[in-house]
Structure 1
Amino acid sequence: MSIRATNQADVIPLRPLPAVPPALPREPLWRDLVGEVLRRERQAQGRTLKDVAEAARISMPYLSEVERGLKEASSEVLAAAAQALGLSLADVLALAGERLVSLAAARSRPRSLGSSAVGSSAVGGRRSVRSTGPAGSVGTVRPSGPMGGVLLAA
């Protein structure tokens, strides 16, 4: 028997290796959300990148990079792309904000089950707040979730 053969042995751990907890999906980036909104709207209208880029007076490769979340577009570029799609900048930002809130709620859902806030009611698995005043009439239900109904703007 050779020395090499005697040094080979199966190693049996004394305790099992700890299970690695599943990693949470990464926090969504604003540029990804805005790009997703622009692409979804463009495709819903059946328009090409070239068509929208020409109407917005931006380059087609740049618009493609914005849609894929590879470039952080300025507010001027976003406004031009939105206008080319028949939207306002506020529309694009609101849609991206809604998507951010829904993703944040999905990320926190397993940890927040069973918790409730005073003055809020569960609607479709999400917390909501009854509001009064200029933002909504009495009895309207607005999401409160992790973002507290706040819209982030770039």
Structure 2
Amino acid sequence: MVDSSRAPEPIRADDRRVQLRPVPTGVNAREPLWRDVVGDVLRRERLARGRTLKDVAEAARISMPYLSEVERGRKEASSEVLAAAAHALGLGLADLLALAQRRLTGERRAAAERPSDGSATSLAARRAAVPRRATRRDGGALLLAA
């Protein structure tokens, strides 16, 4: 039975929001979008080869504004467009995928090394602060000279 003597609780602003996907936490909280990663890889490769946006767009038979938007992560490019842009840069799709994967794992590694509590101490600095034993594998003492 429902108690009708109690006033209903007011609806909070947070309760009115419809959440389409779970809010990411931890390392995944800063995971970039695929289009941002691929666009950044294309731009870096183009610049590393000293090529202009116009040059690559013409070679790939893509409009220059569209290629620019792909590089900036504004457009979700089809596999055909990505292949054309990659081939114009002398890359295959596998090369583009490998470069994007390296960037993603590098970002994930960097995020894991960032402290989660907001302090300025990184994981690498915390590891370096842990004293190491001055012993050799055979159990003998290892003498260190300064």
Q: TM-score, normalised by structure 2?
A: 0.58
Cα distance in 2 for residues equivalent to 1:26 and 1:63:
25
Task: Report the equivalent of 1:14.
Answer: none
Task: Report the equivalent of 1:131.
Answer: none
What is the CA distance between 1:108 and its match in structure 2?
Answer: 1.7
Task: Report the equivalent of 2:47.
Answer: 43
1:38 alignment partner AA? L
Q: Which runs of 5+ in 1 are unaligned?
A: 1-22, 115-154
Q: In structure 2, the residue corresponding to 1:95 is in which secondary structure?
A: helix
Q: In structure 1, the residue corresponding to 2:32 is in which secondary structure?
A: coil
Runs of 4+ residues over 6 Å off in structure 1: none
Cα distance in 2 for residues equivalent to 1:94 and 1:59:
25
Q: In structure 2, the residue corresponding to 1:71 is in which secondary structure?
A: coil
Bigger helix fraction: 2
Cα distance in 1 for residues equivalent to 2:74 and 2:55:
20
Relative contact order higher in (CA < 8 Å, ≥ 6 apart): 2
Q: TM-score, normalised by structure 1?
A: 0.55
Cα distance in 2 for residues equivalent to 1:86 and 1:65:
20
Bigger strand fraction: 1
Give deviations 1:21-51, integer Å, cap 9, x for gaps: xx98732111111111100111111111111
Question: For the pair shown, which has the larger CA radius of gyration, 1 or 2?
Answer: 2
Is 1:99 the counterpart of 2:69 in the alignment? no
Cα distance in 1 for residues equivalent to 2:83 and 2:92:
7
Cα distance in 1 for residues equivalent to 2:123 and 2:45:
33
Q: Percent identity?
A: 75
Q: Which runs of 5+ in 2 are unaligned?
A: 1-25, 117-121, 125-146
Task: Report the equivalent of 1:78.
Answer: 82
Q: In structure 2, the residue corresponding to 1:73 is in which secondary structure?
A: coil
Cα distance in 2 for residues equivalent to 1:99 and 1:26:
13
Give deviations 1:74-121, integer Å, cap 9, x for gaps: 11100000000000011011101110011011112236959xxxxxxx
Task: Report the equivalent of 1:61.
Answer: 65
1:43 alignment partner AA? L
